[in-house]
Structure 1
Amino acid sequence: MCGRIAVIASPDETAAFLGVADLESFPPRYNVAPTQPILVVTAGPQRPPGSNLPDRMALLARWGLIPAWAKNPSDMPLLFNARSETAIDKAAFRNAMRHRRALVPVSGFYEWKKLPGNRRQAYWLRPRKGGLVALAGLLETWSEPGGSEMDTAAILTTYASADIRHIHDRMPVVIEPENFTRWLDCRTQEPRHVAELMRPAQSDFFEQIPVSDLVNKFANVGPEIQDRVEPLHDEAPARVAKPKAEKRKSSDDDQMKLF
């Protein structure tokens, strides 16, 4: 699962990493949640010979894919993740898997580990070597009844690598830079041709940093939400037994007393 991301690299670093034209200035974003806009990169339009059109283009999309055939998005679940193993078989993702694969640049993502006693420990997972990482995404344009269009996106997930499995059994799919062009090429590369790219990142790729529950609220957007904390223990919290109420001996005198 991938329900929160962060993008704290500069626009120039992001553009260079993705191989796109200069990006408009944007501030660091430490706590990006579904329904908020995210940066997405897709293949550019098909170029005629000798054209100077870019190979890739960047745009903002709502995080939460809305299928083109959806009549009323409020009647649908929020599709911010798509399981890579079954996306091609799902009506909501099938067209995007074939025609609109994308890259979602992030500095890392957050995940929560369930603990006994209905507790959760948040973790900030970032590339151990630093820098950006590109997550596999899907893009879909949804037309509102009034005629306006909205670009929407989902992040593909896969089963977690061995080192992350103690936190969660799912993780986002990471596309390595050498596979950017292949992943984005929806003209010659069908989903079956890129299925092998939808695999877990290598163990030890992500550094796992326990953080406070500040990240639980998307209103918290400062860098302090990524500060390392002492993780909660896996043991269930001790239950303190309540003292038993002392039974009072009945007496005739007490029968008519209120206190």
Structure 2
Amino acid sequence: MCGRFFLQRDPAGLARYFETRNPTPNHPASWNVAPTQDSLVVRRHPETGQRHLDPLRWGLVPRWAKDAKDAAKLMNARADTLAEKPSFRDAFAKRRCLVPMDGFYEWRKDEAGGKQAYAVALASGAPMAVAGLWEGWKAPDGTWLRSFTVITTDANEKQALVHHRMPVILPPEVWDAWLGEEEHPPEDLLELLVPSPAEELAIWPVDNRVGRVGENDARLLARDPLAMPPRELDDPPPDLTGDA
């Protein structure tokens, strides 16, 4: 699953990186994005067909929902079932998106039942383009809520040392297909939803305070000096401060 992520980069740099065409939103950095909070999403505008970078709320609210109270429960969509599940299948057909992340957090359980938080980023330091779905929901008062969910798949062999699921990270060569800028049948799109290569990831232990929503500062990404992780989960944190 993916229950927390971080995105600290300048939105203008993300707009250039993803080649979006709308005015760049003024969105703050966050080192601890949690469900029901807003984050930036790259989507194909339904009217112009151009890529837009917009803040949407994390936790998908289906169009047919009576209210938005259960949105946090739909923060993730499993790649193997999203084409059939009523909550996701219409968005999969028509409203796919990319969720920019600098990385995400996951918790590893030890034999004694304790948990250690880990940060996961691309070893290259590049932004992640995570596969997502977005939806528009009209509230009874007529206002619109636009929300998104993060698509997850089976973990690669490195990520599996922390958790058995991971977000789908899409390489640039398939962004056009995923966003609907190129026509592809559903079965071809589903084939894109696979784990990223293990060697592309950097994983390192961080302070467990990341589990508290109110904690949000750059120190969350520092290696936890008290952690004693397996060798495979003690990479040096990549440089995430450069322009996207």
Residues 75 and 215 of structure 1, relative CA distance in 2, 3 Å threshold: closer
* Partner secondary structure for residue 74 of structure 2: coil
C-alpha distance in structure 2 between counterparts of 1:70 and 1:45, whole Å: 21
Does the aligned pair in 2 maintain the 1:100–1:186 contact within 8 Å?
A: no
In the other structure, the counterpart of 2:11 is 11
Larger Rg: 1
2:43 is equivalent to residue 42 of structure 1:
yes
Deviation string for 1:42-98 (max 9, x for gaps)? 11346xxxxxx5631122111000111111333676200000111001000000000
In the other structure, the counterpart of 1:29 is 30
Does the aligned pair in 1 maintain the 2:205–2:229 contact within 8 Å?
A: no
For structure 2, the residue ranges without an aligned partner over 5 or more in a row are 231-244
Q: CA deviation at 1:232?
A: 4.6
Residues 75 and 130 of structure 1, relative CA distance in 2, 3 Å threshold: closer
Does the aligned pair in 2 maintain the 1:41–1:57 contact within 8 Å?
A: yes
* Partner secondary structure for residue 224 of structure 1: helix
Residues 103 and 75 of structure 1, relative CA distance in 2, 3 Å threshold: closer
Deviation string for 1:169-193 (max 9, x for gaps)? 0000011111111110177223212
Moved more, 67-76 or 206-215: 67-76
In the other structure, the counterpart of 2:227 is 231
**Structure 2 counterparts to residues 22-171 of structure 1, below 5 A:** 22-45=23-46, 55-74=50-69, 78-171=73-166
* Partner secondary structure for residue 27 of structure 1: coil
TM-score normalised by structure 2 residue count: 0.88
User: Post-superposition, which runs of at least 4 consecutive aligned residues in structure 1 deviate over 6 A?
Assistant: none
Does the aligned pair in 1 maintain the 2:63–2:135 contact within 8 Å?
A: yes
Give the aligned residue type for 1:14: L
In the other structure, the counterpart of 2:242 is none
Does the aligned pair in 1 maintain the 2:152–2:165 contact within 8 Å?
A: yes
Deviation string for 1:131-176 (max 9, x for gaps)? 2110000001111111111001100000001111010000000111
* Partner secondary structure for residue 214 of structure 1: helix
For structure 1, the residue ranges without an aligned partner over 5 or more in a row are 47-52, 235-259
Give the aligned residue type for 2:140: P
Q: How many residues align?
A: 228
Deviation string for 1:108-128 (max 9, x for gaps)? 000000113331110010110
Give the aligned residue type for 2:143: S
C-alpha distance in structure 1 between counterparts of 2:8 and 2:138, whole Å: 31
TM-score normalised by structure 1 residue count: 0.83
Q: Percent identity, aligned pairs only? A: 35
Q: CA RMSD in A?
A: 1.9
Moved more, 114-123 or 170-179: 114-123
Moved more, 160-169 or 74-83: 74-83
Does the aligned pair in 1 maintain the 2:36–2:71 contact within 8 Å?
A: no
C-alpha distance in structure 1 between counterparts of 2:181 and 2:135, whole Å: 14
Residues 25 and 102 of structure 1, relative CA distance in 2, 3 Å threshold: same
* Partner secondary structure for residue 12 of structure 1: helix
